């Protein structure tokens, strides 16, 4: 049977859990320039094989962050968080605060991202860099959907614009840790250390949910958005035997609410015609495929 102080501590912890959700959603909204309009077009760049799979299955795939080529961004986020924790540990105003920062540092070593899944978009459907890196070197496609349709997918955790400025990134880290120390001061100390451990775990796990939005400044031209989902292992599927992914939206047999499909600047005509066939076979009717302006051939004099 819990003592009165333990009951109070658990009630406060429950409120802190709700406050964490509000904090993350507030940061995501601020990064996105305010409330995200439902009509905002979001573009997903892919290959011809990717387009065919999406149109036939009526799903898009969000891959586990640990299986993505940009997992370095999670390490980048972790390095920023660790640097701030190190500083705060060394300059903590009290031993109690120093113990909190020490516990957060230790917990970082065991944090797992196996339940974090990410789907990437750009708010620009004509980004040369995106075509080259993710659109099959300008020979692939981009799929345009509205932010409103993405937000309607069940189980979404965050939809946010990526942040590229190192100063802004560090400010977000400080905001999260300021929240952590303020919440820690509200939490009564009890004989049972389980609640303390749960608090440490909550702060680190919640921080990691934002990690996909932290990108190196070198990639700022991409103007990327990230959709973040949390899914436990029973929902995971595996591509090629190891790349875990989830299907979005789940359990849907209806065509995706695709606004438009664009072909890359160097996409061969035969691929464009095949894409039209994929769209028709997938139940998308006469969905038009916009072909970006082809590069003009060089004239050799």
Res. 299: pLDDT tops 50: no
- Residue 274 scores a pLDDT above 80: yes
In 3D, which of 68, 169, 55, 44 has the Cα closest to residue 118?
68
For residue 14, give Cα distances in angstroms to 21, 122, 240.
Answer: 11, 36, 40
- Residue among 2, 11, 24 at smallest CA distance from 176: 24
Q: What share of the chain in percent tops pLDDT 70?
A: 90
What does the buried/exposed string (b/e) look like for 137-161 if buried means 16 or more CB atoms within 10 Å of the residue's CB? ebbbbbbbbbbeebeebeebbbbbb
More confident residue, 110 or 154: 154
The string of pLDDT tens digits covering residues 20-69 is 999 999 999 999 989 899 999 999 999 999 999 999 999 999 988 876 65
Q: Is the pLDDT of residue 272 over 90?
A: yes
How many angstroms separate the most distant Cα atoms in the chain?
90
φ/ψ region of 251 (left if φ > 0, alpha if ψ in -120 to 50, else beta) reads left
Separation of alpha carbons 178 and 23, rounded Å: 11
Query: Tokens standing for 90?
Result: 């060394």
Average per-residue pLDDT in the chain? 87
Amino acid 7: pLDDT = 82
Share of the chain above pLDDT 90, in %: 57
- Of 56-65, 91-100, 259-268, 281-290, the poorest mean pLDDT is in 281-290
**CA–CA gap between residue 131 and residue 222 (Å, rounded):** 10
Per mean pLDDT, which range of 103-117, 209-223, 255-269 is the poorest?
A: 103-117
Residue 300 has pLDDT above 70, yes or no: no
For residue 214, the model assigns a pLDDT of 94
Which whole number is the average pLDDT over 261-269?
A: 93
pLDDT digits (tens, 9 = 90+) for 152-201: 988 888 999 999 999 999 999 999 999 999 999 888 876 666 778 889 99
Question: Quick one: how far is CA 89 from the chain centroid?
Answer: 29
* C-beta of residue 47 within 8 angstroms of C-beta of residue 136: yes
Average pLDDT estimate for 239-264:
83
Phi, psi angles (nearest 5°) of residue 216: -65, 145
pLDDT for 55: 93
Most confident of 98-102, 230-234, 241-245: 98-102
- Whether 57 and 245 have beta carbons less than 8 Å apart is answered as no
């Amino acid at each position: 049977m819990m003592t009165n102080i333990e009951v109070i501590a658990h009630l406060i912890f429950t409120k802190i859990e709700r406050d964490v959700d509000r904090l993350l959603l507030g940061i995501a909204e601020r990064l996105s320039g305010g409330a995200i309009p439902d009509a905002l077009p979001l573009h997903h760049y892919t290959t011809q094989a990717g387009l065919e799979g999406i149109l036939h299955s009526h799903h898009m795939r969000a891959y586990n962050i640990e299986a993505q080529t940009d997992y370095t961004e999670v390490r980048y986020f972790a390095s920023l968080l660790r640097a701030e924790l190190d500083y705060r540990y060394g300059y903590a105003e009290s031993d109690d605060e120093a113990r909190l920062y020490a516990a957060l540092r230790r917990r970082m070593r065991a944090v797992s991202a196996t339940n974090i899944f990410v789907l990437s978009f750009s708010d620009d459907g004509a980004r040369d860099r995106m075509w080259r890196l993710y659109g099959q070197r300008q020979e692939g496609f981009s799929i345009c959907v509205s932010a409103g349709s993405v937000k309607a997918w069940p189980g979404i955790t965050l939809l946010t614009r990526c942040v590229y400025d190192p100063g802004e990134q560090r400010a977000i880290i400080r905001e999260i840790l300021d929240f952590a120390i303020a919440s820690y001061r509200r939490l009564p100390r009890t004989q049972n250390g389980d609640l303390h451990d749960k608090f440490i775990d909550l702060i680190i796990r919640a921080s990691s949910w934002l990690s996909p939005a932290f990108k190196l400044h070198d990639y700022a031209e991409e103007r990327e958005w990230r959709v973040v989902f949390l899914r436990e292992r029973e929902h995971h599927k595996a591509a090629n035997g190891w790349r875990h992914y989830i299907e979005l939206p789940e359990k849907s047999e209806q065509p995706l609410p695709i606004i438009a499909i664009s072909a890359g600047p160097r996409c061969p005509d035969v691929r464009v015609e095949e894409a039209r066939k994929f769209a028709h076979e997938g139940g998308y009717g006469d969905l038009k495929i916009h072909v970006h302006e082809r590069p003009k051939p060089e004239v050799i004099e």
